[in-house]
Structure 1
Amino acid sequence: MMIKFRNYILLSGLLSIGVLTTSRAQNPVVQTIYTADPAPMVYQDTVFLYTGHDEEGATFFTMNDYKVYSSTDMVNWTDRGTPLSYQTFNWAKGDAWAAHCIERDGKFYWYVTLTDKKLNRPVIGVAVSDHATGPFKDALGKPLVAANQGDIDPAAFIDDDGQAYLYWGNPKLWYVKLNEDMISYDGAVMEEPLTPESFGKREGDSLRSTLYEEAPWLYKRQNTYYLFYAAGGIPEYLAYSTSDSPVGPWSYQGVVMPTEGQSFTNHPGVIDFKGNSYLFYHNGALPGGGGFARSVAVEPFSFGEDGTVPELKMTSGVKNAIHPVDAFRRVEAETMAFSEGVKTEEQPKIGVFVTSIQNGDWLKVRGVDLKDGAERFKAAVKTKAGGSIEIRMDDPSGPLLTTLKVAGDHHWQELTATDLQTIKGIHDLYFVFKGEGENDLFDFDYWYFE
Structure 2
Amino acid sequence: MTPARRWLAGLLCVVLLFPASAAQADNPIIQTIYTADPAPLVHNGRVYLYTGHDEDGSTWFTMNEWRVWSSSDMVNWTDHGSPLRVSSFAWARSDAWAGQAIHRNGKFYWYVPTTNRATGRMAIGVAVADSPTGPFRDALGRPLVENGEFDPTVFIDDTGQAYLYWGNPNLWYVKLNPDMISYSGSPTQIPLTTAGFGTRTGDPNRPTLFEEGPWVYKRNGLYYIVFAAKCCPEFIAYSTAPGPTGPWTYRGTVMPTQGSSFTNHPGVIDFQGGSYFFYHNGALPGGGGFTRSVAVEKFTYGPDGSIPTITMTAAGAPQVGTLNPYTRQEAETIAWASGVETEPSIEGGMNVGWIENGDSIKVKGVAFGAGATSFTARVASASGGGKIELRLDGVNGTLAGTCTVPGTGGWQAWTTVSCPVSGATGTRDLYLRFTGGGGYLFNVNWWQFSSSTVPYSHGP
Q: Is the shorter-chain TM-score for this pair beyond 0.5, marking a shared fold?
A: yes
Judging changes above 3 Å, is the alpha-carbon distance between structure 1 residues 130 and 365 closer, same or farther for their aligned structure 2 residues?
A: same
What residue number does 2:214 align with?
A: 216
Q: For residues 336-355 of structure 1, what are the structure 2 equivalents within 5 Å?
A: 336-355=334-353
Q: Does 1:134 align with 2:134?
A: yes
Give distance in 1, aligned partners of 2:225 and 2:322. 34
Aligned AA for 1:7?
L
Partner-residue secondary structure (3-state), 1:20: helix
Which SS does the other structure have where 1:96 is aligned?
Answer: coil
Report the Cα offset of residue 350 of structure 1. Answer: 3.3
**Structure 2 counterpart of 1:429:** 430
Q: Report if aligned partners of 2:74, 2:317 keep a CA contact under 8 Å in 1.
A: no
Alignment of 1:165-244 (within 5 A): 165-244=163-242
What is the match of residue 119 of structure 2?
A: 119
The question of whether the paired residues in 2 share the 8 Å contact of 1:112 and 1:153 is answered with yes
* Counterparts of 1:223 and 1:259, CA distance in 2: 29
**Quick one: percent identity of the two aligned structures?**
53
Residue identity in the other structure for 1:213: E
Question: What is the deviation of 1:399?
Answer: 0.4
Partner of 2:454: none
Aligned twin of 2:44? 44
Using the alignment, how far apart are the partners of 1:406 and 1:443 within structure 2? 9
Offset at residue 60 of structure 1 (A): 0.6
Q: Is the 8 A contact 1:238 1:257 kept in 2?
A: yes
2:17 to 14, 17, 23: 14
State the alpha-carbon separation in 1 of the partners of residues 20 and 398 from structure 2.
Answer: 23
TM-score (norm 1): 0.96
Aligned counterpart, 1:31: 31
CA drift at 1:20: 3.1
Query: How far apart, in 2, do the equivalents of 1:115 and 1:8 lie?
Result: 33
Could you tell me which residue of structure 1 aligns to residue 91 of structure 2?
Answer: 91
Change (3 A) 1:221 1:317: farther
Matches within 5 A, 1:267-346: 267-346=265-344
**Distance (whole Å) between structure 2 residues aligned to residue 29 and residue 244 of structure 1:** 34
Task: State how far apart, in whole Å, the 2-side matches of 1:8 and 1:86 are.
Answer: 29
Provide the C-alpha distance between the structure 1 equivalents of 2:13 and 2:419, rounded to a whole number of angstroms: 32
Alpha-carbon separation, structure 1, partners of 2:104 and 2:288: 35
Give, in whole Å, the separation in 1 of the partners of 2:20 and 2:441: 32
SS at match of 1:63: coil
Deviations 1:256-314, CA, capped at 9 Å, x for gaps: 00111110100000000000000000000111011110000000000011111100110
Shift of 1:171: 0.6
Can you give the 5+ residue segments of structure 2 that lack an aligned partner in the other structure?
A: 451-460
**1:409 counterpart residue number:** 408
Letter matched to residue 11 of structure 2: N
Mapped partners of 1:117, 1:319: distance in 2: 40
CA distance in 1, matches of 2:314, 2:219: 26
Distance apart, 1:14 and its partner CA: 2.4
Contiguous gaps of at least 5 residues in structure 1: none
Specify the code of the residue in structure 1 equivalent to 2:418. T
Tell me, yes or no, if the aligned pair for 1:98 and 1:112 is still in contact at 8 Å: yes
RMSD: 1.2
How many residues of Structure 1 are paired with residues of Structure 2 in the alignment?
A: 442
Residue aligned with 1:207, SS: coil
1:49-68 correspondence to structure 2 within 5 Å: 49-68=49-68
Match of 2:390 in 1: 391
The amino acid across from 2:424 in the alignment is: I
What SS does structure 1 have at the residue aligned with 2:17?
Answer: helix
Q: Aligned equivalents of 2:150 and 2:59: distance in 1?
A: 20
How far the C-alpha of 1:369 sits from its partner, in A, is 1.0
Q: Which residue of 1 is the match for residue 456 of structure 2?
A: none
Distance 1:319 1:157, change over 3 A: closer
**CA separation in 2, counterparts of 1:388 and 1:323?**
30
Contact 2:124/2:152 (<8 A) preserved: yes
Once residues 252 and 320 of structure 1 are traced to their aligned partners in structure 2, the CA distance between those partners, rounded to angstroms, is: 30
Please say which of residues 408-417 and 72-81 is displaced more in the overlay: 408-417
How far apart in 1 are the matches of 2:322 and 2:183?
43
- Measured in 2, the distance between the counterparts of 1:354 and 1:123 equals 35
| Counterpart residue type for residue 377 of structure 2 | A
* Separation in 2, partners of 1:320, 1:124: 35
Q: In 1, distance between residues paired with 2:319 and 2:443? A: 27
- Deviation, structure 1 residue 90: 0.5
In the aligned structure 2, how far is the partner of 1:33 from the partner of 1:178?
34
Q: Secondary structure at the match of 2:440?
A: coil
Contact 2:14–2:20 (CA under 8 A) maintained in structure 1: no
Structure 1 distance, partners of 2:13, 2:303, is 37
1:10 Cα offset (Å): 4.2
Partners of 1:216 and 1:226 lie apart in 2 by 10
- In the alignment, the residues of structure 2 paired with residue 350 and residue 221 of structure 1 have an alpha-carbon distance, to the nearest angstrom, of 38
User: For 2:307 and 2:433, how far apart are their aligned partners in 1?
Assistant: 40
Letter in 2 for 1:417: C
Cα separation, partners in 2 of 1:113 and 1:35, compared to 1, 3 Å: same
Partner deviation per Cα, 1:175-194 (whole Å, 9 max, x = no partner): 11111110011111110101
Distance 1:320 1:245 in 2: 33
Closer/same/farther in 2, CA of residues 350 and 9 from structure 1, 3 Å limit: closer
CA distance in 1, matches of 2:256, 2:47: 25
